[in-house]
Structure 1
């Protein structure tokens, strides 16, 4: 009975799931006239403040979408043995068409062992690919006991195009701006041509029971200057992670959705909806007065995509629960 489910690949179509499952509220976007035009104008006006430009592959394939769906791949050793494997994700539009995928780098037995030891604190590198297997964005997190930092990098070819790293100035003083109070600060790292361009980062702001993140964009005019554009402050056991702007209005968000009880009971598949566009992603979900007038630029969307990966690692992986393997089926998120 489970043979077709087990053999189901990461890259298969999920249009039926989206029609009948939790995505039914994501209807195809209708032309809303002046509102859509105004949103596109706001988006275009913010291009100059972004490292990622509209012609970059990550923009044309993923970040230009107002809403995307991320689905974690089936992990059989994770399910039956509680063994944390390298994560793989499919990226789809709201109609179920695959527009890319993400895969954690996993090159050695040693890294697989350290993954079990470090658990939620483990470092990782996740590459974002287009449908032809080209790396279009890289997401990195270093080891951290608390307040983990997850960073989004444009791949090296974009550096050559922009002629950005002519000379690294590691002695430049780091500057950051935030209208959200006393929050953790971004970590400055010296770039090399092999790293790519750091476009921003998301910082987990530890709290005993709330789920908090601080989202920063790197300023294009300074090597070590960051500006905070959003904050996530979700309640205990929350499945919704709205991004609030400095006016405490929703500018974007990440939601954790069930695919179906039977499927998630026997697999480790997680599905997330990433809402990039405040004007087009929240129809009939929140009252209009709760929605921000701002629209995320491409760098900010890349950071939110990285944040969605961090949410999956921090709260919905096998190691984010008390038990592993079959013993963890009683977890609240199954």
Structure 2
């Protein structure tokens, strides 16, 4: 069996403490600083992973009319169903359909002058035809939230910061989950399952089915595949964590290539960021780490903001201009 192109980290080492914990942190630092992507095993997700994939397949198998009743355009909070080619990456439509949800909350009523990103807070849309869907997906969201908090505290250790350095901003964190179906493509010119991009938050966790498609851009090998490994999840660094670490931790371009022919690919992508009303801390790194930091990358077409809500809303407006047009009149020019 060919060795994976990305590092594989065992979370049980972190839990064990002592030399095993230090070995985990050394691997984590190297993976995050050089490629920004890695697999994680040794977690407790187990059967819940399988249940989520089952519910994901069941949702996308619903009649089109049932899915359309949950269209994201109904939601000023950017939650719900998006049909094939309904989301844009770098201005081009992605060949995927998806269902988006965040923390289940009461919608915020904005007073005059309050920032528009408060409108991201609110309830999800749920498919009533699938009685187990809400419970399974919500349980997985809670487990992944805890996993990202565990990893973020490990990153604090790697960066030689106090263990609670991120705690004020992630109590609780802002989370966003996508359930995704990538249909097969017979057209080699239309294989953008999702275009090359970096994720905007702190951390992303991807749960894959058995079908490959995720690819990561590396410095020395170009695009490499991140195929599914039994039981493992894929973790990658987001731009806000790169920003906080002054570029010591890397947010990396990645994409999904559509499966060929009649094949399909299902996945669940979970994104974790700080609270919307917080700012990304600029960490004061020790000299030896600061010397290795490359500095956060700059993209004039995608400016980064230390204010989290502003950064999250920017990404939503760019990806879903139809929702922006209905619920954020006057703001779409900013996307």
- Report the TM-score when normalising by structure 1: 0.26
TM superposition score normalised by structure 2: 0.26
